[in-house]
Structure 1
Amino acid sequence: MAESSVGAHRSSQLNDPWSVPPVYRIPLERPKVRVKADILPAISLAGTSTLLAFPLVYLWSLLAPAQRFRVYEAGLAPLDLESWHRFDSLAIFGFLSVGVGVLIAAVAWLMRERRGPVMLVAAALGALGASAVGVLSKGMFLGKYDIAKPPSVGDVIVAAPTLDTWWVIIAAPTAAVVVYGICAAWNGLDDLGRRLG
């Protein structure tokens, strides 16, 4: 009696549409990171991205506020609330750097046949290079703030915006890594869609 009940139970399991045995697939080999094939496009991306420093500095020179100083016998002193513009110019450069990082990451992600960690590193290095060159060349477009003659005591002079810290250069590579990582996580394919390119 036990055998007949077992046989009936097995036949009902096979006939039940919800108990179809799973289809076994041959496991495919996971795609490997290709460094040699991606190294030249990665160098090209990083080098080209560094050239974005010049539009970055130009936009910063247009948007960053100048700081006004009054000339005293002992030296220069900023007018009331003018010292806040030091932070304003730093924040503007930081936000523009984030935009540059997002742009570089988007371009790197659109290179479908080269997606992977090599391009991620290239995007981060390119964004870092663009931001660092931007800080080094910050005075390139600030010629309008040049003083023609020595000021007298009591005069108010307008000084060019400044960047007081180098820490601002981490904004661009951080944005590039975050955006590229979000795109890779959203993709969900083992090879990030390289074979579809």
Structure 2
Amino acid sequence: MPRSLQKLVDLISELPGIGPRQARRVVQFLLRTDMAFKKRLAEAIVTMNENISQCSSCFRFDEVNAKGTCSLCANPNRDDAVLVVVEKDVDVDGVEAVHSYKGQYFVLGALMPLARQRKNVLSPRVNELIKRLKAQQHIQEVILAFSTTPEGDFTAKELKNKIQESFPTTKVTVLGRGLSLGAEIEYADQETLRSALQGRSEIF
């Protein structure tokens, strides 16, 4: 394979869920498609890079305003007394698709690994979450909406303890067990996720 094509295969292989074989198929498709499509694809990537930034408040990627906040955080009609914490951006999309949650969001960025030994080692953005709760003390409830995996359960327990160390009166809840064991928020259907939100409960 020519070096220029191999470089493209290697880059595409770095995308989630795409291995070398799938990457080669994508490259073969691009070789056979017309120049107009390739130009649109390249322009879309450039436009994304120019127009999409990480929100300074919730850390999701969106078209942010002059203050650096996304459309959800800047919406005055959202309920700012409730905050859902999710692992990744796509989980925000899943909760929004339910059309029953009207509060705010915070994207944690990663779950805490079970192998974590030292108490000082926390998931990315935990400190930012605590800073937000300090800055917005009108937040009455934090909903921990993580996948029902061992890592998700462990992260919820650790976060609950961390939050209530500083905010003992803040209600901390998790999704109801409408989600099956091992289910990821990203792949949950709308009815199941709606039921899990409505059936949320406090962590003890």
TM-score (norm: length of structure 1): 0.28
Higher relative contact order structure (alpha carbons within 8 Å, sequence separation ≥ 6): 1
Instruction: Looking at secondary structure, tell me which structure has more strand per residue.
Output: 2
Instruction: Looking at secondary structure, tell me which structure has more helix per residue.
Output: 1
